[in-house]
Structure 1
Amino acid sequence: MVNQGPISLPLTILSVLIPFFLMNSCIATSEEKGTALIRKTCNHTMYEKICISIFESDPRSFKANYTGLLRIGIELSVSLTNDTLSYISKVFDNTSETSNHTLWLKMKGCHDNYDFAVFEISQATDLFDKGLYRDASRKVAFANEAAFLCRTSGVPQFVERNNKVDKFTHDIVLLLYPNPPK
């Protein structure tokens, strides 16, 4: 390897930092609001269409600044997780253990994981309000993990709801962790 002198290290560091700064400059500012803010924010997610759709389903999103939008994202994640647990509970309660023991066990696993996730994610909004964005992100991640585990268990009745929770909570985790409100 050829020694390129003392300038080599700073140039290497700059080549890594410049894309990082450019990416962060594309993140929405606290002054933006409305559809433009929703789209700009969701543009930085893995599941942009679901992100936009869920945010646009809540009228508060159109009046929120970036910080408010992230808080709404947590609240929507909590709601999706609670609704999914309710649905899973209803289906699980109406499934006989003796009729299909393997399916029943998979449903029980989904139920137990979502039950735990509901407990954990319920703390995310308070953590966010205290400025503990990474901790809030970790609480939302419990819902994302529950959806992932349930999805991989292969319970066909839960696929659609699981996908929605999995994708939206994944995006909220990503928005909160590396790009918290300023």
Structure 2
Amino acid sequence: MAYLPCLTILFLVSAFSTFNGCNAGIALIQSICKDSQDVQFCNTIFETDPRSATADLHGLALVAISNTILEIQDTLSRIPGILSQLRRNPLGKKRLIICQSDYSNSLKKFQSAFSSTSKSAYWDAINYIRDGTNVVIDCHNNYRRDGPIATSPINDDDLKVFKLSEIILLVINRILVK
């Protein structure tokens, strides 16, 4: 009978430890996201990924990079369908083909950033993130040159990559100044 109170105490200690660990994760995420330009977007990125609740800064960087990779892959998978709708718009088609190439290059850069971050090579990761973001910026700006200014059909995707890049850099910056 004496073992029952001991089990209860172990259960309570375990429950409080887990609870406090989750709060620490949430507090870390909130402190990062409050520095971002889109706090709600940042919070959503981490809240929807179950790895975030228990992740340290290194883990949060990997979560943010993996979300960026998924976003870029999703965009790349939708581009062929959008291209098929642009049969009578040669300039729009040309611009989107450039974006398709830019997004393919960006995907490679963010995959390299993930690999570098996994190895704690954060300065290399920053370079890959910068390069991967810059090619998406090139895609975005492509709709402002060589013809009438237009809004890209993947404009929202561009903006998500920009926001995700900011989040990644906020997390890595905290790692580097630690």
TM-score by length of 1: 0.71
Are 1:68 and 2:53 an aligned pair?
Answer: no
Once the two structures are TM-superposed, the CA of residue 33 in structure 1 deviates from its matched residue by 3.6
Q: How does 1:94-133 map to 2 (within 5 A)?
A: 94-96=85-87, 99-133=88-122
- Counterpart of 2:86 in 1: which secondary structure? coil
Are 1:166 and 2:162 an aligned pair?
Answer: yes
Which residue of the other structure, out of 12, 23, 29, is the alignment partner of 1:38?
29
Shift in CA distance, 143/92, structure 1 to aligned 2, threshold 3 Å: farther
Task: Determine the C-alpha separation between the residues in 2 that align with 1:84 and 1:166.
Answer: 14
- Contact 2:109 2:131 (8 Å CA) reproduced: yes
- Counterpart of 2:51 in 1: which secondary structure? helix
- Counterpart of 1:123 in 2: which secondary structure? helix
Size of the aligned set, in residue pairs, is: 149
Once the two structures are TM-superposed, the CA of residue 179 in structure 1 deviates from its matched residue by 2.7
Task: Determine the C-alpha separation between the residues in 2 that align with 1:64 and 1:46.
Answer: 22
Q: Percent identity?
A: 25
Q: Which of the pair is proportionally richer in helix? A: 2
Once the two structures are TM-superposed, the CA of residue 56 in structure 1 deviates from its matched residue by 1.2
- Please tell me the residue identity of whatever aligns with 1:139: Y
Are 1:179 and 2:170 an aligned pair?
Answer: no
Are 1:147 and 2:136 an aligned pair?
Answer: yes
Task: Determine the C-alpha separation between the residues in 2 that align with 1:75 and 1:139.
Answer: 14
Structure 2 gap ranges (5+): 1-21, 144-149
- Please tell me the residue identity of whatever aligns with 1:68: G
C-alpha RMSD of the superposition: 2.2
Shift in CA distance, 180/40, structure 1 to aligned 2, threshold 3 Å: same
- Contact 1:141 1:173 (8 Å CA) reproduced: no
Once the two structures are TM-superposed, the CA of residue 86 in structure 1 deviates from its matched residue by 1.6
- Counterpart of 1:59 in 2: which secondary structure? coil
Structure 1 gap ranges (5+): 1-30
* Bigger radius of gyration among the two: 2
